[in-house]
Amino acid sequence: MSRSAETLSRQAAIENAEARETVYRLAAVALAYPLEETQQALQEGRLQAVLSQAWQLLGGESWPEFPVSNTLQDLEVGYTATFLHGKRGKPRVPMVASAYADLIGGQTPGAFLLNVQAFYSHFGLKAAVEDEGLQDEPDHLVAMLEFCALLCFLERQALEQEKDAGPYRRAQRDFLARYLIPLLQAIHARYTQESQYGLDANLAHLVEVLPGWAYSQQQALEALVGAFTKEASIIASSASNNQSMWD
């Protein structure tokens, strides 16, 4: 490959990583507990416009135009009724992986959380401690989306510095396959049974399309760095910060 062709290829890879980072970050913003800024961004169409641009760069269709919750209270009511409230105090559609028995695969919830945390710790992340919101739980969907955004940022940074992006791509591939995709699929499946509680249409569409989109990203990463293997299990330990799991 000529130098100019290599430069173009690297630039395309940088743009791809940046677009993935954008999708993950905006999905995390949209699916976190509603804030006034989020409602305004949805109402003005700014969030959808940026998301649509990144989505299309990655091969997806433009973001459909949906009605938006008129007020922050409307956005909160639909979100709370869907993701936080339910029968006997349990959410109708839990956003934490440990709430789905099929996802923890026979592990105790504590062991499952330690294995998720092993990914975060390897990249120097710690759970927020300022409040007790669900977002601070390592297996919460928002935390997982933000972590994937970080990995995309690190991948893009490595590419811009002409360094090896492979470790960050392998980490993304493994985290998608082990944790994010199964959780997205579980949330989508549960939401199809609990879709009548007024969730904003843009958030509902995210719940619908994110599982397939994430799987397509896993496939693209596998084409670059090889297939994911279930046998290579990640077990949290005191040595997890000192070993290079994806080098």
- 135/142 Cα distance (integer angstroms): 6
pLDDT at 134: 41
Helix-, strand-, coil-residue percentages of the chain, each rounded to 5: 65, 0, 35
- 183/127 Cα distance (integer angstroms): 19
Which H helix or E strand runs over 142? helix 141-160
Q: How does pLDDT run across 34-83, given as a tens digit for each residue?
A: 999 999 999 999 999 999 999 999 999 999 999 999 999 999 999 999 99
The structure tokens listed for 164 are: 């090896």
Amino acid sitting at position 179: Y
Q: Mention the CATH class of domain 3-225.
A: mainly alpha
Mean pLDDT to the nearest integer, 106-115? 87
- Buried/exposed 156-193: b ≥16 CB within 10 Å, e otherwise: bebbeeeeebebbbbbbbbbbbbbbbbbbbbbbebbee
Averaged pLDDT of the chain: 88
239 burial class (0-12, 13-18, 19+ CB within 10 angstroms)? exposed
Q: How does pLDDT run across 74-96, given as a tens digit for each residue?
A: 999 999 999 999 888 899 999 99
Q: How does pLDDT run across 7-35, given as a tens digit for each residue?
A: 769 999 999 999 999 999 999 999 999 99
The structure tokens listed for 93 are: 């559609």
Are 142 and 28 within 8 A, CB to CB? yes
pLDDT at 146: 96
pTM: 0.89
